[in-house]
Chain A
Amino acid sequence: MLEVEHLAKSYGRHQVLRDVTFGIGPGQITGITGENGSGKSTLLEVIVGRRKPDAGRIVHSLRFGYCPQELLIFESLTVEENLRYFATAYGLPRRDLAWREAAQSLLERFRCSQYVRIPVNQLSGGTKQKLNLIVAFIHSPDLLILDEPYAGFDWETYLQFWEYAHELRSEGKSVLIVAHLIFDSAQLDSVYRLTRGVLECA
């Protein structure tokens, strides 16, 4: 599902990732923890192709979903328009009912179906974050790469998120998630800790 071998990345003289090697099989939820600035987000950005590694090899499922730490959705478009724009990027046909139903179900699960026709810049921070996450799910990817996806979630949505992650796992899908909270470790099949660019099993 995902194989990362001897990955290295630096910004100028600052080495952010050092010889990072790990893998994720089907139906696994894998967490990456570490202090601020330890290189977690950079690792995910290199995996999805936002940044180029200095060295190393990455092999992953072509059908992946990525939720970045920052809000990367169109603020002046409505929730519905954002979903349609990203669905077009994934190559999902406009009239295809399957993804529309999946998107509707995700909106209901994360309690934002009432906001579909509202521009994102009129939504609360938490609702924006939910949309940021839902955008990564609508094409039913085999591999989900999530960078602190629940920042700003209320407790119920946080629990909903983990319930959904476990459902995906039971369908054989894999999740790679940057996690912070101690509570999260109970939800994960395997945990890695990133310390000054070095990845170790936690």
Chain B
Amino acid sequence: MRLSRIMVGMAMTARELLRSRLVLMLLLVIPSLFYTIVGLTGTDRLIAFKLAAIPAKPVIEVSERSESLVFIGTAVSGLLASYLALGLMQKQSEVNRRLVLCGYRPSELIGSKLAILLIVIVSVGIYVGGMLPIFFRPERIVPAILGFVLAGFVYACYGLLVGALLRRELEGVLFIVLLANIDAGWLQNPVYYAGAQNQFIIRALPAYYPSQLGMIGAFTAYGVIRPVIAGMGYGLTLLLAALAAYFVRMRVRR
């Protein structure tokens, strides 16, 4: 694996992204638009919930608006990251294959894409988390941002896997939107989770650890190591599966 090839791949991937108006618009507009809607429609009514990832299970009491902002921040970070990852995998996949036929290694190509993806995920996480103090004062801002970054990472790995397995964009988008909608956009809301049956299903979904991490960071002073490690492990498992599928798809058949 050559570093120079990865660097050139990163430069070209970044240029492709920066020249895509849709991607830039999604990354910049969607988080602030969603926050604005939640900020305007949420109320100051206090709601009480417990977080499954805190063993002591304390009752957390915060305003409905604050809880909704953290919840939607996780969902937006995950959705944007997975959509971006899907695009990086699916779009120009045959051109990337030509690069492989010309001598690029699949590992160099995926490495360069992953590096750019991580930069975008961290940027989006900081952007989304950085807007929280406009609406309320989080208990700890860094773990809350970490929750958004982790949501981006786990869902990006899911997007990479979907992109490596499916060739058509519409199918890929459906797979991403449907899961993100039910998981990050609904089931992981602690208010819903508290009264849900068969909670093991919710805990097995990609946004569980990131959303728990975001909530713990924003509303408590409890430790965040466990959800961070578990979330990273979840994401890395998806990433390994995505890499395996990508190598099979890109291999030179001689």
Bound Cα distance from A50 to B94, whole angstroms: 10
Cβ-based interface call for B198 (8 A): no
Q: Is the CB of A49 within 8 A of B254?
A: yes
Interface of B is mostly: helix
Report chain B residues within 8 Å CB of A94.
4, 8
Report chain B residues within 8 Å CB of A149.
none
Report chain A residues within 8 Å CB of B102.
66, 86, 89-90
Report chain B residues within 8 Å CB of A50.
97, 101, 253
Bound Cα distance from A148 to B102, whole angstroms: 19
Cβ-based interface call for B252 (8 A): yes
Bound Cα distance from A54 to B4, whole angstroms: 36
Cβ-based interface call for B193 (8 A): no
Cβ-based interface call for B92 (8 A): yes
Cβ-based interface call for A119 (8 A): yes
| Distance in Å: Cβ of A160 to nearest Cβ of chain B | 23
Q: Is the CB of B101 within 8 A of A48?
A: yes
Report chain B residues within 8 Å CB of A51.
253
Q: Pick the residue among B15, B20, B94 that contacts A72 (CB under 8 A).
A: B94
Q: Is the CB of A73 within 8 A of B95?
A: yes
CB-contacts of B1-37 with A (<8 A): 4-5, 8-9, 12, 15-16, 19-20
Q: Is the CB of B8 within 8 A of A77?
A: no
Bound Cα distance from A166 to B104, whole angstroms: 29
Cβ-based interface call for B99 (8 A): yes
Cβ-based interface call for A153 (8 A): no
| Distance in Å: Cβ of B23 to nearest Cβ of chain A | 11
| Distance in Å: Cβ of B24 to nearest Cβ of chain A | 12
A-B contacts at CB below 8 angstroms, number: 61
Q: Is the CB of B12 within 8 A of A89?
A: no
Q: Which residue of B lies closest to A46 (CB)?
A: B253
Report chain A residues within 8 Å CB of B133.
none
Bound Cα distance from A184 to B16, whole angstroms: 38
Q: Is the CB of B99 within 8 A of A49?
A: no
Cβ-based interface call for A130 (8 A): no
Report chain B residues within 8 Å CB of A77.
12, 15-16
Q: Is the CB of B5 within 8 A of A74?
A: no
Q: Is the CB of B104 within 8 A of A72?
A: no
Q: Is the CB of B98 within 8 A of A72?
A: yes
Q: Is the CB of B99 within 8 A of A81?
A: no
CB-contacts of A23-61 with B (<8 A): 46, 48-52, 58
| Distance in Å: Cβ of A88 to nearest Cβ of chain B | 4
Q: Which residue of B lies closest to A132 (CB)?
A: B98
Cβ-based interface call for A84 (8 A): yes
Q: Is the CB of A90 within 8 A of B103?
A: yes
Cβ-based interface call for A105 (8 A): no
- Which residue numbers of B lie inside 8 Å of A, CB to CB? 4-5, 8-9, 12, 15-16, 19-20, 92, 94-95, 97-104, 252-254
- Which residue numbers of A lie inside 8 Å of B, CB to CB? 46, 48-52, 58, 66, 68, 70, 72-77, 81, 84-86, 88-91, 94, 119
A-B contact pairs, 14 of them (CB 8 A): A48-B101, A49-B254, A66-B101, A66-B102, A72-B95, A72-B98, A75-B92, A77-B12, A81-B12, A86-B99, A89-B5, A91-B103, A94-B8, A119-B19
Supplied contacts A84-B8, A94-B4, 17 more A-B pairs, CB within 8 Å = A49-B254, A50-B101, A66-B101, A66-B102, A74-B16, A74-B95, A76-B19, A77-B12, A77-B16, A81-B15, A85-B99, A88-B5, A89-B99, A89-B100, A89-B102, A90-B103, A91-B103
